[in-house]
Structure 1
């Protein structure tokens, strides 16, 4: 099933990187899409770097720099990465359909890995903090 995405993946990435992406696409699903697209093009560490630095720069451009949360952003890239390892020949629409928990309740998903006190700490907002409940590499071994 193809998702009704008004912008092609290429246009979405280009507009995001040029900081011309309309703000209605710079929402939670847009963040997931960005991470998913970067993971299709780059290895994990590069995708994490491009996603976190890109979202932070775009948030700064929009004047909402306080909304950027480094650990949440990076953790979601890790989770998306691990979930895509089990999927072959998927598109973003299929990924969203199979991962409605990331769309509708990402905080609960993150709660499997992080206690609230760690995830919502001042340090975690500024820098990546490792999970204190379940390591991301444990997730990978469950899928393999």
Structure 2
């Protein structure tokens, strides 16, 4: 069974989203959907607080990693900022690296020692290898 984007967000925000949708692709979908509706800062806030709340609701509060979550939102933002009228399915088709190798993508921006630090798990830590740029001109 597939959920519409609206149903996905509503169920997520109400903490009723079936657990099978609360996986890596579900996190990417949530970030993508919020980026379609909100400015970057608001999308980051809604995504990170929402995922953390849902993980806590499922009893998996130790699984949430703030820097990984926020960094992936930045990456999705940069990959979608110039794309108009795209669906999440379209986004996934051209961004399989985020689905299959998100760790490798993140390691372009972060050293492992920074990304997997205790601090990075709890709070957002800026990349130490390649900075996120919020300028459209920086998008390739």
Indicate whether the TM-score tops 0.5.
yes
| Candidates 126, 130, 135, aligned match of 1:130 | 126
CA distance in 1, matches of 2:51, 2:124: 14
The ranges of structure 1 where at least 4 consecutive aligned residues each deviate by more than 2 angstroms after the TM superposition are 138-142
Q: Which residue of 1 aligns with 2:69?
A: 73
Q: Which residue of 2 aligns with 1:24?
A: 20
TM-score in terms of structure 2 length: 0.96
CA distance in 2, matches of 1:71, 1:91: 26
| Candidates 6, 9, 24, aligned match of 1:13 | 9
| Candidates 26, 32, 35, aligned match of 2:31 | 35
Structure 2 spans left out of the alignment, 5+ residues: none
Task: Measure how far apart 1:100 and its partner are.
Answer: 0.2
Task: Measure how far apart 1:85 and its partner are.
Answer: 1.4
Query: How many matched pairs?
Result: 140
Q: Which residue of 2 aligns with 1:54?
A: 50
Pairwise CA RMSD: 1.4
TM-score in terms of structure 1 length: 0.93
Matches within 5 A, 1:81-92: 81-92=77-88
Task: Measure how far apart 1:140 and its partner are.
Answer: 4.7
Deviates more, 1:57-66 or 1:132-141: 132-141
CA distance in 2, matches of 1:99, 1:44: 19
CA distance in 2, matches of 1:116, 1:86: 30
Structure 1 spans left out of the alignment, 5+ residues: none
Q: Which residue of 1 aligns with 2:90?
A: 94
